[in-house]
């Protein structure tokens, strides 16, 4: 068994695709029409065969309250690894990204949390 896919529940796939590619820098992998939605995945630019990120519609009635409750408490739905949290923080702020938590070093990691504009908070983490 291998982990090949992880997902974020997004309120709008097109908007999410823009944010996750143009701003975060991931690249498209799969884009398959599925009824009113798409099977839409992205990969890291430097790891095209790595774990795919599925931009999954949050159409299920339970999804929105679940997401809102996490955002309310500042809890990220997923975490991405970066080499330099401070540099990413600066870069993303330059793109107008809203952070609920600036880079804070906690033991062996520095983490920051931002709003993905699709109803989620996302953590970026740097291991020291």
Instruction: List interacting residues with another protein (CB under 8 A).
Output: 68, 71-76, 98, 100-101, 104, 106-107, 111, 113, 115, 121
Q: Report in angstroms how near the CB of residue 111 gets to another protein at its nearest.
A: 7
Nearer to another protein, 49 or 73 (CB): 73
Residue positions counted in the chain: 128
Nearer to another protein, 59 or 104 (CB): 104
Residue 96, phi-psi category: left (phi > 0), alpha (psi -120 to 50), beta (remainder): left
Q: In this structure, are strands 78-81 and 109-115 parallel, antiparallel, or unpaired? A: unpaired
Q: Report in angstroms how near the CB of residue 16 gets to another protein at its nearest.
A: 17
Q: Report in angstroms how near the CB of residue 42 gets to another protein at its nearest.
A: 24
Q: Report in angstroms how near the CB of residue 68 gets to another protein at its nearest.
A: 7
Nearer to another protein, 40 or 88 (CB): 88
Instruction: Check the CA dihedral 99-73-110-19 and report its sign.
Output: negative
Nearer to another protein, 40 or 124 (CB): 124
Cα(12)–Cα(56) distance, rounded to whole angstroms? 9
Contact between 122 and 80 (Cβ < 8 Å): yes
């Amino acid at each position: 068994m291998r982990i090949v896919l992880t997902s974020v529940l997004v309120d709008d796939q097109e908007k999410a695709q823009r944010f996750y590619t143009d701003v975060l820098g991931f690249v498209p992998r799969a884009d398959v029409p599925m009824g009113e939605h798409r099977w839409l995945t992205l990969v890291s630019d430097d790891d095209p065969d790595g774990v795919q990120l599925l931009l999954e519609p949050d159409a299920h009635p339970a999804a929105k309250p679940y997401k809102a409750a996490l955002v309310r408490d500042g809890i990220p739905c997923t975490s991405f690894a970066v080499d330099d949290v401070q540099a990413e923080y600066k870069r993303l702020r330059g793109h107008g990204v809203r952070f609920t938590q600036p880079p804070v070093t906690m033991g062996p990691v520095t983490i920051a949390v931002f709003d993905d504009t699709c109803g989620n908070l996302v953590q970026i983490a740097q291991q020291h």
